Amino acid sequence: MSYETRRQWGVTPPVSTALPTDNDLRLSRDLVRTLHEYGLFETEQMAKMRCIVLERLDGIVKEFVCRVGMLKGMSESIAKETGGKIVTFGSYRLGVNSPDADIDTLCLVPYHVEREHFFTVLYDMLKSRPEVTELTAVSEAFVPVIKLQFSGIAIDLVCSRLMLPQIPDNLDLSDNNLLRDLDDRCVRGLNGSRVTDEILRLVPNIPVFRTSLRTIKLWATRRAIYSNVMGFLGGVAWAMLVAKICQLYPNACEAVIVNQFFRIMNLWNWPEPVILKEMEESPLQLRVWNPKIYPADRFHRMPVITPVYPSMCATHNVTDSTRAIMVKEFKRGADTTDRILMNSGKWHDLFESTDFFHAYKHYLQVIASSDSAEKQLTWSRMVEAKLRQLVLKLELVDMLVLAHPYIKRFDKVHYCRDDKEREDAAKGIFVPEITFPLGTDTQANPSDDYIMYTTTFYIGLYVEPKTDRTAGPRKVNLVWQVHEFINTVKSWENFDSQHMDITIKNMKRCV
C-alpha cells in the first residue's frame, strides 16, 4: 500500500506520508461493510446491462452521424466512414456509480454534424426507440443535454462537435489540439471526459480514492448537499475535493482520507481555490479560470478548479447560502469522524439523514404544473434549472440570513374530478384521495381532461433572530423576488400559458 514518500502528487507536498495503523485499516474495512449495507455497489448483472446499453447507444450515435452525412449529400459508404462515438464521464467513468445512478455520456461527432442535429435528428431517432422513455431535451442548459431512460437506465447525453472529418473509435481525448476552434459548449462537454481521466491519473491509490469518494457521495446525498444545479456541488467537484485529500495523504487508507477530508474542508480558507495540478497554458488561447484577469471569477465563492486545459471552475453555481450550509456540514462531518477514529462512534452516524423539513420555521414551496406528462418533464426541469436564480434573489432580502434549496423534487399526478380540483392542484392544494406520487399504480381512470401533473421544490428560509433591541413586529417581504422569478421562468421560449403554470407559496413548519 505504500508509495514513494518523496513523490509530490499535487501542487503542494504531502501533509503526511505515514502508513495506516491497524486501527485505521480495521475502520476502513468497517466503512466498506457499511457502504455495502447502503446498497452502493451494483450487481454484476446490472454492470453488464449498462455495458449493453452503452454499446447500443454507441451504435445509434454512429447511425445518427451517418444519417446527417447523407442529408448533407454524402454517399452512404462515405457517411459511414465518418464514425462518431460515445464516451462516458462522471461517476460511471470514475468507477463509483451506484446502482440507480445515471450515466454521464458524451456524444462525439465530426464537423459536418451541427448541434441542432443533436437536438432534432438524434432526438427523433431516440424518440422512435421502444426502449427509450422519459426523453427530454434541455438545450438551454450551461452544458446542453438530452436526458433519457434507455432500457430503464438513466442517461445524460451531451454533445461535442470536433473539427475533424472523422471520429475514430481509438480517438485520444487527452490531446489539447482537439479543443481547437470549438465553441464553449463543446469544450465543456469534451472536458467532462478529460477531467475524469485526469483525476484518476492524479491520485496515488485509485482503490482508496474510489472508496473514499463513494463515502463522500453517500454522505452528501444523505445530507442533501449533492446537487450542482441547486448550488451545491456535483459529482466531479466532490471527486476533485477527495482527490486533493488523497494527494495530501498518499499512503493513507480510506478511514483516514475521509476524516481528513472533513477536517481540511472545514478549515479551508474559501474562496482560496482547490487545485489538483498547476494550470496549463496553451497557444489555443482559450479562457482559463483566473480571478486576476476575469472579474466574474472573483465572485466564485467556493472555487474547485478542473485539472485539464482550459482550467474551469466546477463550482460556479455555489451561492452564499449553499456555501454556508456545506461548511456547517463539513464541521459536523469532522466531529463525527473524529469520534469514529477514536472508536466512540459508528459510520452510520456520518450518514444520518438531513432534518431539512424540521430545520426552519418558514419555507417557500415552488409548484410547477402542467396537464401533460411530456410537457411536465421539460417544464419542471427548466424550473429546476432556474431555481438557483431565486435563491440568489432571496439572499439579497433584508433580515433573510440564508435560503436553503432542497435538492429533491416531488413529482405527483392528480386525478382530478373537475376544473376546481385541477386549479387547486396547480396552486399546491392537494387532495389526498386523488393525489399520487408519479409512477404509482392506481385504480383511478379519469378523463385526460382532468389529469394534472405537479413538481414541487422547497427552499428553507432562515430569518435573522429577534434581539432585545427588536421593536415591534417584523415582516420579510419576498414579493419582488417571487414576482421576478415567475417572470423569468415564464419567459422561457417553450412556455405554454394554456397548459403550464407555476405557483410559489410561503409555508410554515408543521411541528
Q: Which among 92, 226, 249, 360 is annotated as catalytic?
A: 226
Instruction: Tell me, yes or no, if 466 is annotated catalytic.
Output: no
CA angle in degrees (0–180, nearest 5) for 222-228-230: 80
Burial class (CB in 10 A: 0-12, 13-18, 19+), 272: exposed
Instruction: Tell me, yes or no, if 217 is annotated catalytic.
Output: yes
Q: Which among 217, 244, 393, 412 is annotated as catalytic?
A: 217
Query: What single letter denotes the amino acid at residue 288?
Result: V
Q: Which triple of cell numbers denotes residue 7?
A: 513523490
CB 456 within 8 A of CB 409: yes
Rounded to 5 degrees, what are φ and ψ at 148? Answer: -160, 165
CB 147 within 8 A of CB 156: yes
CB 255 within 8 A of CB 340: yes
CB 474 within 8 A of CB 466: yes
Q: Which triple of cell numbers denotes residue 329?
A: 456540514
Instruction: Tell me, yes or no, if 91 is annotated catalytic.
Output: yes
Instruction: Tell me, yes or no, if 418 is annotated catalytic.
Output: no
CB 369 within 8 A of CB 500: yes
Instruction: Tell me, yes or no, if 297 is annotated catalytic.
Output: no
The beta-strand segments (E) located in 66-127 are 85-89, 103-109
Please list, in sequence order, all residues whose beta carbon lies within 8 angstroms of the beta carbon of residue 479, skipping any fewer than 6 positions away. Answer: none
CB 211 within 8 A of CB 254: yes
Query: What single letter denotes the amino acid at residue 376?
Result: Q
Q: Which among 28, 62, 91, 92 is annotated as catalytic?
A: 91
Instruction: Tell me, yes or no, if 77 is annotated catalytic.
Output: no
Q: Which triple of cell numbers denotes residue 410?
A: 416531488
Q: Which among 24, 62, 156, 453 is annotated as catalytic?
A: 156
Q: Which among 24, 104, 297, 501 is annotated as catalytic?
A: 104
Q: What kind and span of H or E run contains 201?
A: helix 184-202
Please list, in sequence order, all residues whose beta carbon lies within 8 angstroms of the beta carbon of residue 396, skipping any fewer than 6 positions away. Answer: 481
Q: Which among 102, 197, 320, 335 is annotated as catalytic?
A: 102
**Angstrom distance (rounded) from CA 405 to CA 387:** 8
Residues labelled as active-site residues: 91, 102, 104, 156, 217, 226
